[in-house]
Chains A and B, each alone.
Chain A
Amino acid sequence: MTLRADHVAGGAAIAAALAVLAVSGDLPFGTLAFPGAGMMPKLVCALMMMFGAILVVRGAASAPFSDIGWSDLPHAVRVLAITAAAVALYTTLGFVVTMSLMLFALIAFEGRNLLAAAVYSVGVSLLTYWLFTLVLKSPLEQGILGF
């Protein structure tokens, strides 16, 4: 049997619903006259499992999983890793430093001129900081360096 996109999607939905049900033990379902906090999540989990099962059963109509192109995965992983690092540093280093570094790293990895990337990154970060802080009166994170 060929593994197809809907088999994976349906299977993942069923697994996610079962995982949510597993951590919902302390939420009471209640009664019809007084539904508890667990009623809605448990009903929705049941629906997720039902739709997931339909997808698995009718999966033959979808594209084979092996046909899905993953050529963009390295780009996605790189963008995600750089952004995650920036988010981790954001409150410590502040907006200008973190965003300058993030922009520079993202552009540098695209193989662009490093000097142009550095000027662009610092310029854009400073301009955005000025725009939000002074013009829009919406202060951005300052961090330990104060900007």
Chain B
Amino acid sequence: MLGFSVALRPDVLWYGFLGCLVGTLVGVLPGIGPLSGISILLPITFGLDATKAIVMLAGIYYGSQYGGSTTSILMRIPGEASSVMTCIDGYAMARNGRAGAALCIAAVGSWIAGTFGVVVLTAIAPPLAAFALRFGPPEYTALLVLGLIFLAYMSSTSLPRTLLMAAIGLLLGTIGIDNLTGHFRYSFDIVELGDGIGIVPVAVGLFGLGEILSTPSATVVGQVMAPKLRELLPNRKEWRQSGWPIARGSVLGFLIGLTPGSAHIISSFLSYAVERKLSKHPEEFGHGAVAGVAGPESANNAASTGAFVPMLALGLPTGPVTAVLMAALIIHGVQPGPQLVNEHPDVFWGFVASMYVGNVLLLLLNLLLVGLFVNVLRIPYSYLYPLVIMFCVIGVYTVNNSIVDVWIMLNIGVLGYFLRKLGLDPAPLVLGLVISPTFELSLRQSLIMSNGYWTIFFTRPIALALFLTAALLLSLSLFALTRKHADWRTKLAEAEAGEGAQ
């Protein structure tokens, strides 16, 4: 009830609505993901209190999952990476004259999955946070190692590539003054580097500028199909066909969302594969199968909600977006983690309750304003991308009023361009950067408190259990690395290839 009394306050409701609206636009526009959207708009929240800031920024995140389906269905261009699978059957439905029904199923599926995710989040986050109060430095070290290994296991690229990116992030995180000894590390007499490299310049550089550098305007083409409003309601058969895929997508997406990695992307791919496998008519997939829209769209929304559980309860970001959201909370003086429920109950419960409200707002927004969003897609890319660059510059500069941060963003943008060329996923780099200070501190504290005996990590039950799980996952990844056919990525690629062949 405390949560709803906060979330339904007119001012909080307004910022929640604003976040959902901007998030839908971010999802609709190709080339701008939720991460760059949140990073660019982060400085705007500095004048707000922590509750309004997190409600607005989270609204952008889950709003983008709703909006991403619009371009997938109407243009066959995924507005957001997690909407790639919706392109296949969503666009096919649109060509069959069912664009409105596809949009409605995607919006309703997203709403059910999002609400389901928030219900489970409400139930499990507080007890998980209470359990995490038993964690000391060795347990946190083990948890972060497990997070990195899990990230590598779930990543869409190979184990060494993911861990290499995470290592670069960890290294960037060591720049600045060492908290324990006061040494300046790699600051090269640049005063601004004494505080380290911020997550915003890195995230905006990699995902905002980096994306634009590798996307010339000549490559952004596509015809927009305008749905008729009267065709928005699916027929009885389509409702029936979407029921179980939405249910399965919600559960699958939430569970995958709990794990580190690109969960919202992976969940939509897996959901599509599951629906195709379970379907009595797999031949319909690729030609406008309702389940091919309902399942993946539900899964990516449930995953984006699931990702909030480890962030709120453990203070552990599972992806770059939750990492930026965590950074936003810290900037506002709120430390996410086990103490959050007790120390800032209004922020915690207000945020959770705002997601119930936000999902209803998004359902209405995506059904009633679909015509408006379609018109946004008609803005030529050559006018749009300079605007995004301008917001990248403003977003980064306004955080600390530091031009050095903007130069860092430019350099990281170049790095992001070359990483894309070499097929390396930049997301683990951001995650490594965010966990680097906590990881280093907990590792060194553990060694200091054990007087240098590294066995401390294996004599405490929780740390031991976490390390054993990490070792198991590492073994599975190494097994998959040596026997390529055993890798789930290879199987998924084969399933997709089979799909494309049809």
Taking beta carbons and an 8 Å cutoff, which residues of A are in contact with B? Answer: 5-6, 8-9, 13, 16, 20, 23-24, 27-28, 31-41, 44-45, 47-48, 51-52, 54-55, 58, 62-63, 68, 70-72, 75-76, 79-80, 83-84, 86-87, 90-91, 95, 99, 102-103, 106-107, 110, 112, 120-121, 124-125, 128, 132, 136-138, 140-141
Complex Cα distance A145/B216, Å? 34
Residues A44 and B167 in contact in the complex (CB < 8 Å), given A80-B213, A87-B406, A103-B390: yes
Pair B213/A72 contact, Cβ less than 8 Å: yes
Contacts of B422 in A (CB 8 A): 5-6, 8-9, 68
**Contact of A47 with B163 in the complex, beta carbons under 8 Å:** yes
Instruction: Knowing A20-B171, A32-B447, say if A91 contacts B424 (CB, 8 Å).
Output: no
B217 contacts across to A, CB distance below 8 A? 75, 110
Q: Mark B147-190, 1 if CB is under 8 A from A, else 0.
A: 00000000000001101100110110010001011010110000
In angstroms, Cα B417 to Cα A72, docked, is 10
B44 at the interface (CB under 8 A from A): yes
Does chain A have a CB within 8 A of B397?
yes
Instruction: Return the contact of B383 from the options A44, A68, A80, A112 (Cβ within 8 A).
Output: A112
Further 18 A-B residue pairs, CB within 8 A, beyond A9-B161, A44-B170: A5-B421, A5-B422, A9-B164, A9-B422, A23-B186, A34-B452, A35-B444, A47-B167, A51-B163, A72-B216, A79-B213, A79-B385, A107-B382, A107-B386, A110-B217, A120-B383, A124-B390, A125-B390
* Cα–Cα distance between A106 and B436 once the two chains are bound (Å): 37
Q: Does B414 contact A (CB under 8 A)?
A: yes
Question: Would B393 and A33 count as touching, CB distance under 8 A?
Answer: no
Contact yes or no, A33 B414, CB < 8 A: no
Contact status B423-A62, CB under 8 Å: yes
Q: Does B407 contact A (CB under 8 A)?
A: yes
Report whether B394 and A128 are in contact in the complex, using a CB–CB cutoff of 8 Å: yes
* In the complex, residue of chain B having the shortest beta-carbon distance to the beta carbon of A120: B383
Give A63 to B213 CA distance when docked, in angstroms: 21
B244 at the A interface (CB under 8 A): no
> B403 an interface residue at 8 Å Cβ cutoff?
yes
Q: Measured between alpha carbons, how far is A28 from B390 in the docked complex, in Å? A: 42
Question: B-side binding surface: helix, strand, loop or mixed?
Answer: helix
Residues of B within 8 A of A70 (CB): 421
A44-B213 in contact given A87-B393, A120-B383 (Cβ < 8 Å): no
B272 to chain A, nearest CB (A): 25
Contact B163 A90 (CB under 8 A): no
Q: Kindly identify, within residues 425 to 452 of chain B, every residue whose CB is under 8 Å from any CB belonging to chain A.
A: 436, 440, 443-444, 447-448, 451-452
Contact pick for A90, options B44, B393, B436, B451, CB 8 Å? B393
Q: Report how many residues on chain B are interfacial, defined by Cβ distance under 8 Å.
A: 61
Given A33-B452, A35-B444: A137 touches B410 (CB 8 Å cut-off): no
Contacts A27-B185, A52-B164, A120-B383 known; A138 to B171 CB distance under 8 Å?
A: no
Question: Would you call B46 and A20 a contact (CB within 8 A)?
Answer: no
| Nearest 8 CB-CB pairings of A with B | A33-B452, A32-B452, A37-B183, A110-B382, A37-B178, A106-B386, A51-B164, A75-B216
Residue of A with least CB distance to B440? A40
B215 within 8 A of partner (CB):
yes
Distance from A58 Cβ to chain B, minimum over Cβ atoms (Å): 7
Q: A107-B383, A110-B217, A128-B390 are in contact. Are A37 and B171 (CB under 8 A)?
A: no
- In the bound complex, residues from chain B placing their C-beta under 8 Å from that of A44 are 167, 170-171, 174
Least distance between B450 CB and chain A CB atoms (Å): 8
Q: How far apart are the CA atoms of A15 and B345 in the complex, in Å?
A: 48
| A90 contacts B424, C-beta separation under 8 Å | no
Of residues 229 through 270 on chain B, the ones whose CB sits less than 8 Å from some CB of chain A are none
For residue B212, which residues in chain A have a CB less than 8 angstroms away from its CB? 79
Contact of A103 among B213, B216, B386, B397 (CB under 8 A): B386
Instruction: Choose one: B46, B174, B393; the contact of A83 (CB below 8 Å).
Output: B393
**Quick one: closest A residue to B162, CB to CB?**
A51
Closest to B182 in A: A37
Closest residue on chain A to residue B386 by CB atoms: A106
B37: interface (CB < 8 Å): no
- List B contacts of A51 (CB < 8 A): 160-161, 163-164, 167
Q: Does B387 contact A (CB under 8 A)?
A: yes
Collect the chain B residues with CB atoms within 8 Å of residue A136's CB.
44, 47
Nearest A residue to B188, CB-CB: A23
- Chain B residue with the shortest CB-CB distance to A99: B390
B410's partner among A32, A48, A83 (CB-CB below 8 A) is: A83
